[in-house]
Chains A and B, each alone.
Chain A
Amino acid sequence: MSSVLYDTPGPRAKQRNILYTVVFAVLLVLLLWWVWQTMSDKGQLDWAKWSPFTESQAWTTYLLPGLGNTLKAAALAMVIALPLGAVLGIARLSDHRWVRVPAGVIVEFFRAIPVLLLMVFANQFYSESTQISSDERPLYAVVTGLVLYNASVLAEIVRAGILSLPKGQTEAAQAIGLRKTQVMSSILLPQAVTVMLPAIVSQLVVIVKDTALGGAMLNFTELLNARKTLAANYANVIPSFIVVAVIFIVLNFILTSLASWLEDRLRRGKKSTGAVLPTAAVAGTAATGAGGAGGGVIGVGGDVGRET
């Protein structure tokens, strides 16, 4: 097993590796022991603090409604952001300067701003200028913030997807006399959609994670917020955090696996001519929680464009 950094270990290296393993294992055990001790000192290991999770009440009253709201906000945000992102992404590729430039400014602007600012702004805006009831407002604010941000990220994904298609596709379509709209809607977009699918699914992970912002700052009753009420009832800070974290990890793990499965399948199937946008290509931006990138120079476009 030789890698860039390490040659296949010889007898001395093998002994050294065993030594490292032992030292590292000792450190790890010490850390776990400290965590375990502190938790048992503070009574966080008592069965009374964990047993609520084995009964249905904690789930039906707190966790499941919270998870439901998380998923609802994420799904709504994705469904609304997707067409918006597609429009913005295509507008950025327009031949007309007056369409291309404003679209570019919008995309770069919303990508450079933290989602939290957008959510806080939307929340205040709805409270000042609309009739939305204060119970509903957090959901609206969270979804609005997520849509504004993710539409611009998705716009970049769409643009990268279309740019990744070989030039011959456009040229051939033009040669048989299709108009610009026809080229886009019947030749480029259908192929780009399959190419973009993995990247779009990975963006869902970011959206799911960002819903937690609304729970902490706008009192949106999603999973993290449900944890607070649950912990207030059962006085189980650490167990509740662990359970909520596990739910998020499982949920995101499923989404990530779906994305890489899709990527794999599309690679092998090769129905489209474009390079499949790897989930990792957007990882720098996509997976970084509140998202990444500003200054299109190093955005998705540049990275993925070179992939072919």
Chain B
Amino acid sequence: MFDFLEGYDVLGAFWTTVQLTLLSAVGSLVWGTILAGMRVSPVPLMRGFGTAYVNIVRNIPLTVIIVFTSLGLANVFGVTLGASGDFATMFFRLAVLGLSAYTATFVCEALRSGINTVPVGQAEAARAIGLSFTQVLTLIVLPQAFRTVIGPLANVLIALTKNTTVAAAIGVAEAAALMKTMIENEAQLLLIATIFALGFVVLTLPTGLLLGWLSKRLAVKR
């Protein structure tokens, strides 16, 4: 019954999906944190840049961004991310770049709303007892902000997992691309689709349950 699986590396494709997810998650977390830092900073120019970036990038379809990394960044601007000859690696890295640039806007918004849930009085009280900026940030604001942010960030991570399929648009050999090849060549449409669908359920559901439980447990009771 499962003969049609022969010659296809389903697990390998899902491994690529996982790699895309994890690398883009790290990338978007770093870039998103920097953006959030800019959006709450007292420097008007940085605030303006952060706001403009988030509002522009968030409203462009991810597909457009991913296709642009290949046709625009790589072909016109010559950004090959250190893999100019090796196309498979280059497209993988470009996809990570595109996914990070896009997801960072959602990370930024989640972090910013997390920071905004901390009452101003908390920081004012901390400053009044003489804590420095770093101390206010690391002892008072971030510990509270981080807890409220777990839920929204988990949603972003799950959406990111599903969004990695868009990388198929520039030929990264991840799960959606393999599924497309397989259902075009094999006669087991429903079975193949179910296998891939369950693959994604396995990837997203535990993440959702675990992080959901964590965010409930760690929620700041106010």
Contact = CB atoms under 8 A, between A and B. Distances in A.
Interface in B85-128: 102-103, 106, 109-110, 113, 115-116, 118-120, 122-124, 127
Interface residues of B, number: 82
Nearest to B42: A6
A210 interface: yes
Contacts of B56: 249
A4 B120 contact: yes
B120 A292 contact: no
B168 interface: yes
B176 to A, nearest CB: 5
B136 A5 contact: yes
Given A5-B115, A249-B56, A253-B59, A213 B42 contact: no
B76 A44 contact: yes
A2 interface: yes
B68 A241 contact: yes
Interface string A1-15: 111111101000100
A165 B110 CA distance: 26
B136 A248 contact: no
Given A4-B141, A21-B44, A303-B151, A114 B162 contact: yes
B146 interface: no
> Which of B63, B152, B160 gathers most chain A CB within 10 Å?
B63
Contacts of A283: 106, 109
Interface in B41-70: 41-46, 49, 55-56, 58-64, 66-68
Interface in B151-165: 151-152, 154-156, 158-160, 162-163, 165
Interface stretch (A89-97, A120-128, A170-178): A120-128
A93 to B, nearest CB: 20
5 contacts: A5-B115, A6-B42, A35-B77, A216-B67, A293-B159
Interface of A: 1-7, 9, 13, 17, 20-21, 24-25, 28, 35, 38-39, 42, 44, 108-109, 112-117, 120-121, 124-125, 128, 205, 208-213, 215-217, 224, 237-238, 241, 244-245, 248-249, 252-253, 256, 280, 283-285, 287-295, 297-298, 302-303
Given A117-B165, A124-B184, 4 more contacts: A4-B141, A213-B63, A244-B64, A292-B159
